[in-house]
Chain A
Amino acid sequence: DIQMTQSPSTLSASVGDRVTITCRASQNINTWLAWYQQKPGKAPKVLIYKASSLESGVPSRFSGSGSGTEFTLTISSLQPDDFATYYCQQYNTYFSFGQGTKLEIK
C-alpha cells in the first residue's frame, strides 16, 4: 500500500498570505496526485489533478507541483473562502489519501 503523509497537520495563516502544504508518498507515484479542499459538513472538491493541472473553475491562486514522492500545494494569496482542510490523494496504485491539513485563520 502507498502511504501519503501531509505536513503540516495544521497551518495558521492570515488573509493575503502565501501558504504551502507538502505531501509525501511512500513510493514513486509519478504525477498521479490530486489535491482536494473540504469544508465542514461538505464533500471534498478537487482543486488540482496530475500534480499540477488546475481543475476547471478553480481560482488560479491555487497551484500544485512535484513528481515522484514529493508534492506541494500552494495558495498564492489566501482568501477568506480558502480556510478549510486540504487532502492529497495518490492514484498511481488504487487510491490513498493524506491525513489532511487544516488551514486556520491566524
Chain B
Amino acid sequence: EAQLLESGGGLVQPGGSLRLSCAASGFTFSSYAMSWVRQAPGRGLEWVSSISGAGDSTYYADSVKGRFTISRDNSKNTLYLQMNSLSAEDTAVYYCAKRPLAPGAYYFDCWGQGTLVTVSS
C-alpha cells in the first residue's frame, strides 16, 4: 500500500525559508510523478508544483514560481519542496500526492496527511 508522510512544516517569519519533505513507501517511487498541493485554513485546494519520476521536469503554479523549488531523491524515496521568500499568503497545510501510472492519469490517487506551514511574525 502506497504511503506518503510529510514533515518540515512549522512557524516561519515573513521573508523566511522552509524545506518540506515527503517520505514515500509501498510503491516504486522513481516511477511516479509527484506533486505538492496546499490548502489555506478554511479554504480550498491549490496545486503548487509537480515533478517527473526522474526529476528532470518540474512545473509550478504562478503563485510560487521563482520562490519554490521542487526536487526529489529517488535513492531516498523522498520528495522535497524548498520554499523561499515566504509570505502570509503561503500559510497552508501542504500535502504531497502521487498520480497513477496510467497514461493521461494526472489526478492524485494517494495523499499524505499534510504538514502545516504558518508564516507570521
Contact = CB atoms under 8 A, between A and B. Distances in A.
Interface string B41-70: 000111100100000000101100000000
A94 B59 contact: yes
B27 interface: no
A97 B113 CA distance: 19
Contacts of B47: 94-97
A16 interface: no
Contacts, number: 52
A101 to B, nearest CB: 10
Interface in B12-27: none
Nearest to A93: B106
Nearest to B114: A43
Contacts of A8: none
Given A1-B62, A50-B105, 9 more contacts: A36-B108, A43-B114, A44-B108, A46-B109, A87-B44, A91-B107, A95-B47, A95-B106, A98-B44
25 contacts: A1-B62, A32-B104, A34-B107, A36-B108, A38-B45, A43-B95, A43-B113, A43-B114, A44-B45, A44-B95, A44-B108, A44-B111, A45-B111, A46-B107, A46-B108, A49-B107, A55-B109, A89-B107, A89-B108, A91-B107, A95-B35, A97-B44, A97-B46, A98-B44, A99-B44
